[in-house]
């Protein structure tokens, strides 16, 4: 079968014009940022500075993941009056809805906003949008913009771009149909000096012992359902008092549970409050379940193989509902 090549949609002329005409910019990402979010903000900010713009990076945080805590100093956590008086253009990256930027949503009211994102689901917001759901990450889109505007990718920028690629794709496990194109872009970054070995260590290392114990507890607590095709792992509020770690266990948890023979769907339920549950969805490459669509039914969103949602239900209630939904989709 002939390979399916990736092509970016043309950058709308109105977006190009707004970027070229603007002088001051704020680059904003989602709350509780991950590697792709912060790397997208940093590389977008550097792109705009190369175009002669005044730029501030803003993220409400918190910067909890061990692989990104060292970057927190690059970001403002709120928009000052002085920033807003400059009437900046706001560039929002890696956000599928306005709620994802937290308290900054109110602070950017009245400002011209451009959205760059790769999430297939969510809500439309902003004045201008460049959404590419087939992209593995928002940094993949930003790298394309460097080429569009003819801006050189330095070794430092290459490092940030690769970090975004790797964190959002499970270190290239979830790169969809456009594997060759993704790896060709990644190879360009490696040629600029990125070390995949060091990058893997940065992403997976730096955890404390309690983090490993926490992941172990979640695996021990996991339920195998639907003839081994579904696994549900559950975290309760009390776990935060037992395990002293700010790192999210989900990345390692998904990887380990999806490695089990026959597993097609992994659900991670995290109790935030007695009637508020965060859900992480993952599906294997052979699974017929589009977890992005499943998350969308619950008010969330994401991609075919990775998605998330937050619901106003107890862990037990949403668990029972999800089992029925996944059972229907696995037929």
| pLDDT tens column, 180-237 | 788 999 999 999 999 999 999 888 877 889 989 999 999 999 999 999 999 999 999 9
Say if residue 1's pLDDT is above 50: no
Q: State how beta strands 54-58 and 89-93 pair.
A: unpaired
Please report whether residue 28 resides in a domain: yes
Look at 99 and 45; give whichever has higher pLDDT.
45
Same domain, 194 and 152: yes
- How far is the C-alpha of 177 from the C-alpha of 23, rounded, in Å? 38
Number of domains in the chain: 2
Same domain, 56 and 100: yes
Residue 266: what are its φ and ψ, rounded to 5°? Answer: -120, 130
Contacts of 152 (CB under 8 A, 6+ apart): 50, 146
Average pLDDT of the chain is 91
Is residue 137 within 8 A of residue 37, CB to CB? The reply is no
Is residue 282 within 8 A of residue 254, CB to CB? The reply is yes
Same domain, 255 and 136: no
Q: Which of 174, 202, 230 is the last residue of a domain?
A: 202
Report the pLDDT value the prediction gives residue 176, as an integer from 0 to 100. Answer: 67
Contacts of 214 (CB under 8 A, 6+ apart): 239, 243, 245, 249
Structure pTM? 0.84
CATH number of the domain encompassing residue 298: 3.10.310.30
Report the pLDDT value the prediction gives residue 169, as an integer from 0 to 100. Answer: 84
Q: Which of 179, 202, 225 is the last residue of a domain?
A: 202
Same domain, 125 and 264: no
Determine the average pLDDT of the residues in 45-66: 95
Q: State the residue for tokens 């979010």.
A: 37
Please report whether residue 6 resides in a domain: no
Task: For residue range 149-178, list pLDDT tens digits in order.
Answer: 999 999 999 999 999 999 988 888 777 656
CATH number of the domain encompassing residue 103: 3.90.1640.10
Please report whether residue 3 resides in a domain: no
Same domain, 23 and 168: yes
Same domain, 23 and 116: yes
Same domain, 186 and 215: no
Same domain, 250 and 180: no
Percent of residues, the chain, with pLDDT higher than 70:
96
Look at 269 and 245; give whichever has higher pLDDT.
269
Please report whether residue 5 resides in a domain: no
Across the strands, what pairs with 278? 270, 310
Same domain, 38 and 185: yes
Is residue 279 within 8 A of residue 267, CB to CB? The reply is yes
Same domain, 17 and 112: yes
Please report whether residue 2 resides in a domain: no
Of 285, 286, 290, 277, the C-alpha closest to 321 is 277
Please report whether residue 42 resides in a domain: yes
Report the pLDDT value the prediction gives residue 121, as an integer from 0 to 100. Answer: 66
- Domain region containing 321: 209-329
Helix/strand/coil (H, E, C) string of the chain? CCCCCCCCCCCCHHHHHHHHHCCEEEEECCCCCCHHHHHHHHHHHHHHHHCCCEEEEECCCCCCCCCCHHHHHHCECCCCHHHHHCCCEEEEECCCCHHHHCCHHHHCCCCCEEEEECCCCCCCCCCEEEECCCCCCHHHHHHHHHHHHCCCCCHHHHHHHHHHHHHHCCCCCCCCCCHHHHHHHHHHHHHCCCCHHHHHHHHHCCCCHHHHHHHHHHHHHCEEECCCCEEEEEECCCHHHHCCCCCCCHHHHHHHHHCCCCCCEEEEEEEEECCEEEEEEEECCCCCCCHHHHHHHCCCEECCCEEEEEECCCHHHHHHHHHHHHHHHCC
Same domain, 22 and 149: yes
Q: Which of 202, 234, 266 is the last residue of a domain?
A: 202
Structure tokens at 157: 């920028």
Please report whether residue 7 resides in a domain: no
Please report whether residue 76 resides in a domain: yes
**Cα-trace Rg, the chain:** 20
Contacts of 320 (CB under 8 A, 6+ apart): none
Same domain, 69 and 118: yes
Is residue 113 within 8 A of residue 127, CB to CB? The reply is yes
């Amino acid at each position: 079968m002939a390979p399916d090549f990736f092509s970016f949609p043309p950058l709308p002329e109105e977006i190009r014009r707004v970027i070229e005409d603007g002088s001051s910019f704020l680059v904003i990402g989602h709350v509780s940022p991950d590697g792709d979010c912060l790397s997208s903000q940093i590389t977008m900010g550097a792109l705009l500075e190369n175009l002669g713009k005044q730029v501030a990076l803003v993220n409400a945080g918190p910067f909890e993941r061990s692989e990104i805590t060292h970057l927190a100093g690059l970001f403002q956590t709120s928009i000052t009056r002085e920033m807003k008086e400059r009437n900046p253009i706001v560039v929002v990256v890696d956000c599928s809805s306005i709620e994802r930027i937290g308290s900054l949503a109110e602070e950017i009211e009245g400002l011209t906003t451009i959205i760059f994102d790769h999430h297939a689901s969510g809500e439309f917001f902003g004045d201008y949008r460049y959404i590419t759901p087939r992209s593995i990450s928002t940094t993949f889109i930003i790298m394309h913009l460097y080429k569009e505007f003819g801006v050189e990718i330095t070794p430092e920028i290459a490092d940030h771009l690769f970090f975004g690629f790797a964190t959002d794709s499970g270190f290239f496990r979830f790169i969809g149909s456009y594997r060759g194109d993704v790896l060709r872009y990644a190879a360009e970054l490696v040629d600029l000096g990125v070390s995949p070995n060091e990058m893997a260590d940065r992403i997976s290392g730096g955890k404390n012992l309690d983090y490993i114990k926490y992941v172990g507890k979640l695996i021990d607590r996991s339920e195998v359902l639907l003839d081994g095709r579904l696994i549900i792992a559950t975290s309760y509020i009390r776990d935060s008092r037992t395990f002293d770690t700010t790192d999210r266990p989900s990345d390692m948890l998904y990887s380990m549970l999806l490695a089990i023979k026959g597993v097609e769907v992994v659900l991670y339920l995290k109790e935030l409050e007695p009637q508020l549950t965060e859900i992480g969805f993952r599906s294997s490459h052979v699974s017929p379940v589009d977890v992005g669509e499943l998350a969308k039914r619950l008010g969330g969103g994401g991609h075919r193989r990775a998605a998330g949602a937050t619901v106003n239900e107890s862990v037990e209630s949403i668990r029972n509902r999800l089992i029925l939904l996944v059972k229907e989709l696995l037929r």
